[in-house]
Structure 1
């Protein structure tokens, strides 16, 4: 009767031999690719020790993967490049996201872990490194963990690893500051400070600092749009003669790293659909004034040459204009402010709709200032206390 063929993953009888005072244990393994390979381990102690070493190796052994792009000899730096290039090629991430991932890996991963081979980074070491980064920059640690987890997911798909060692690491804790909205009195102070700032060089020659800053603040507060979305507005997106007047947000402005020089991206964050908002009176007035500065063609917020305006420049101007007590206010603060104002007047669902969030939880957690005052429930509590008193009599 012919000998039964080994199934993939099985090995044959372990043979032992000795030579020159050294002990060897060997066997043949049929790998997942169907090929039969000889595997051997040695020991200076005894044949039994050599056998134990071989059995231990067979428990974790993988078939040689030299022909694969990712194999057990691939370093983490090489794995990162394979992973990020695949994401870009498949169109899964935008240039600004690629730039963010590369920045995190270069700063916190390449020099510290990059020379390790895939199987050499175990969960305890990965966890320790992520937490050490989190001690100083929690946000960067969260991105590093995401990058490593997806890199090792690729290694699992290639069969180099059975489990993803990053899954067992703890998420980097981020201490989120409470959502803070600008109050009506504070908004009046912001407006006055911005107006004073833009007049600071009148009569001194040269361009006024923050020429577009007042209108920028007004449109942010009138729409609740992201700063980059406001700066990406074109006059073709604005309809001041409609009833009611509207702006439609269909793009965003990018100005960093791999995203290239300052340019307009013709879609919103996460590829969200176009979003139309109704303009309040003060928003209409601000945009009407802008018509005289930039005409009705091209960008709403335009440089003197008709180009796009950098958010970094306006952010710096706002920071310089505000008094110390309002130094916490940034362009993004107005998005939280609009959400909070609408929540207080019309409810959380209306705030979610204005800010164009897919999930209400996102609006409530990140964009609405927490309400810390309870409702007026005196009648219910008095009734409860009265009933209890009557029961005791």
Structure 2
């Protein structure tokens, strides 16, 4: 009767042999993770030393292959190989890849990049993620996604049998409470913006345009994100309809090496929507049709050079406009919260 094969990942009897003065060899048959049984050996100055060296070698052994990823691969190398893979697969957007690369460069590699795959235990990875989360909870969550996908690649290539990131602890992000503006505060916001846009003698820097007030008004009229508002083209609005509308169908994104450009889809599938405009937004857009300069993108809001307006510039201008007010807590997301709150109140009144 044939002897049953060794279970995968185990070895048989260890044999030792003296090769010469102070030199011993330990050998064993090992059934690799590809199912084949092979001879493995290690040497030492004594018989027990050779056995210990062999057991360590067997513990860290992976199936021989021509792959560039093994248990000895450094995490910095694994990160590079993973980035190359997701770029080649084209499954995620370029801006998402840029965000992953940034976290790899600034967080993952400096902290754990010199570890070998076999050294990246659940405990080590968990401590790293918790340290990042102390000061940067959002970055820690992205780092966990990055590490999870990196080690998934190592598993697929045979360097590991399980993904250690799966057993790290859950990262909790403190919920940021977003307040909605009252009607009085809403008027204060609009007044602050228009005051800031007025030319001031002796004020340094480029003179503010009227764009910020109009952008904020359209955000309040639609509840759309900054990037969605800045991506609007005149072709997306219908001011001649009985009930004028705007259709949100894209957003402004930034890609390293390419700059800001209009992405032909919104952040989520639910982002594509047509909205009936209130009268104040219709009046603002009608005024802009009379004064807006032509630009190659048909953009409602374009820079002085005719390019897409940067969301970063809008946020910067808003910080400047609110600097001398008591509205430091108001962010662009506050406008979305305000619109949602007003709609909810209106719906509640209708159902009473």
TM-score (norm 2): 0.87
Conserved in 2, the CA contact under 8 Å of 1:15 and 1:26? yes
| Mapped partners of 2:138, 2:25: distance in 1 | 51
Gaps of 5+ in 2: none
1:276 matched residue in structure 2: 274
| Mapped partners of 1:57, 1:324: distance in 2 | 67
- Specify whether residues 207 and 57 from structure 1 end up closer, same or farther in structure 2 by C-alpha distance, changes over 3 A only: closer
More deviation in 147-156 or 203-212?
203-212
- Specify whether residues 4 and 105 from structure 1 end up closer, same or farther in structure 2 by C-alpha distance, changes over 3 A only: closer
Which deviations, in whole Å up to 9, do the C-alpha atoms of 1:316-343 show, x marking residues without a partner? 2211112431112222221121112112
Gaps of 5+ in 1: 348-393
1:25 matched residue in structure 2: 26
Which deviations, in whole Å up to 9, do the C-alpha atoms of 1:94-149 show, x marking residues without a partner? 11111111111111111221122211111111111111111221111111111111
RMSD: 3.0
| Mapped partners of 1:92, 1:228: distance in 2 | 22
Query: 1:262 aligns to what SS in structure 2?
Result: strand
> 1:270 deviation in Å?
4.3
> 1:207 deviation in Å?
6.3
Which deviations, in whole Å up to 9, do the C-alpha atoms of 1:136-192 show, x marking residues without a partner? 211111111111111111111112111111122223332222121121111100111
More deviation in 257-266 or 82-91?
257-266
2:301 matched residue in structure 1: 301
Of residues 252, 259, 264, the one that matches 1:261 is 259
Conserved in 1, the CA contact under 8 Å of 2:30 and 2:40? yes
Conserved in 2, the CA contact under 8 Å of 1:96 and 1:259? no
- Specify whether residues 324 and 171 from structure 1 end up closer, same or farther in structure 2 by C-alpha distance, changes over 3 A only: farther
Which deviations, in whole Å up to 9, do the C-alpha atoms of 1:349-388 show, x marking residues without a partner? xxxxxxxxxxxxxxxxxxxxxxxxxxxxxxxxxxxxxxxx
Conserved in 2, the CA contact under 8 Å of 1:210 and 1:314? no
Conserved in 1, the CA contact under 8 Å of 2:238 and 2:246? yes
- Specify whether residues 175 and 259 from structure 1 end up closer, same or farther in structure 2 by C-alpha distance, changes over 3 A only: farther
TM-score (norm 1): 0.78
1:229 matched residue in structure 2: 228
Conserved in 2, the CA contact under 8 Å of 1:145 and 1:171? no
| Mapped partners of 1:132, 1:91: distance in 2 | 32
How many residues were matched structurally? 345
1:188 matched residue in structure 2: 187
Query: What does 1:2-151 correspond to in 2, within 5 Å?
Result: 11-18=11-18, 19-21=20-22, 23-33=24-34, 35-42=36-43, 47=48, 51=51, 54=54, 58=58, 61-65=61-65, 67-151=66-150
> 1:303 deviation in Å?
2.7
Conserved in 1, the CA contact under 8 Å of 2:122 and 2:167? yes
2:339 matched residue in structure 1: 338
Query: 2:243 aligns to what SS in structure 1?
Result: coil
Conserved in 1, the CA contact under 8 Å of 2:60 and 2:118? no
More deviation in 139-148 or 197-206?
197-206
| Mapped partners of 2:266, 2:69: distance in 1 | 35
| Mapped partners of 2:279, 2:187: distance in 1 | 16
- Specify whether residues 110 and 9 from structure 1 end up closer, same or farther in structure 2 by C-alpha distance, changes over 3 A only: closer
1:153 matched residue in structure 2: 152
> 1:28 deviation in Å?
2.3
Query: What does 1:196-235 correspond to in 2, within 5 Å?
Result: 196-201=195-200, 208-235=207-234
1:320 matched residue in structure 2: 320
